Structure 1
Amino acid sequence: MAAVGFTVSSASATAQATWTVSPGGPFTAHSGDTQLEVPNAVLLCTDSDAAGSLQSGSGLDGAGIGTIDSLTFTNCSVAGVAFDVDTSSTPWDLNVTGVDPDNPDRVLGSITGIIANISDSSGLCSATFAGPGGATDEGTVTGYFDNSTSQLVVQDGDLTAYNANCLGIINNGDHAAFTGTYDVSPAQTITLD
């Protein structure tokens, strides 16, 4: 699932599906509001910006069809306390898995390779979010791209908290649900071959 304006055919994807992307190349994406929610707290960021690239042409595998090369979060806080988010583990892979059978405008997929760290400026709270296998296990977020609105919608994933030192606000093993809606530019087209 790439952060681009996907247009898809009405055919459904299969395990052997290949894809055509046009024009491909560089893209940017912006979200005005993202959240990382754990059972006891919500990290809110007022702005998030991504940049990356897509493959171009036909016969493309949905896995690794693009990358996110940089991702930043600004104005982040938990209960009014300012936090920094470090996503220096990029690039992350963009993957297309199929067309939503309930909405042909939506391309389903994932972003993989995620390891992110958060910390407050006072040093009282910090944690790493990664995959379920540990702090060095690359995590995944899932969602869809809505072709009718040119928005990438991230809904969840397998991110888990590790190395949490956060006064009980964030605890080791907490599942973290990442959500955000990104406006993308320029629009791209992806179709099943």
Structure 2
Amino acid sequence: IFMRQLLESVDYFHNKNIVHRDLKPENILLDDFLNIKVSDFGFATIVKSDQELTELCGTPGYLAPEVLAQSMYENVPGYGREVDMWACGVIMYTLLCGAPPFWNRRQMMMLRSIMAADYTFNSPEWDDITEAPKNLIRRLLVINPTERLTATQALAHPFFHSQEQEDYQEYERTRRISQMFALIEELSKFRARRKFR
């Protein structure tokens, strides 16, 4: 559900020609009803359909290879919306196994891993994860940005349809319980105010 909401958010601002450029877990907030809110649009920019960006910005572990290429090589093409989709792949990987795919104590080694899309599903945390989410991550963490899924394509991925009914029912149940507790809290405040009058 979390990834679905994130991709719906990304799809929305991409359709408004906005590139966030700094998607990471710290910039994704949850409200009381378990809805996500994408925050920190400090690096965000509006792009025209044929415009390429060249500024190096974002958080190192979530940068797409084409962003890093801007500072490493001369005369490389710019980048666009696809950088947000790479970051979504990194976020999904991190959420599922508890560690980012390219983390290394030495930043230069981490950047080399990003440039080569050098990550694995070999750690024990992946043993119980099915193939569908791994496939979605593979389709997002693609070096060539033209081969990377868009937000719309990612939302149509089988991962969201295989788990959707079961997860959505549990999500709605949890959401209703959260709303009920919020209502009870508001009613108790209202009742307390009436007692003091």
- Structure 1 length-normalised TM: 0.21
Higher helix share: 2
- Structure 2 length-normalised TM: 0.21
Q: Which has the higher contact order (CA 8 A, sep 6+)?
A: 1
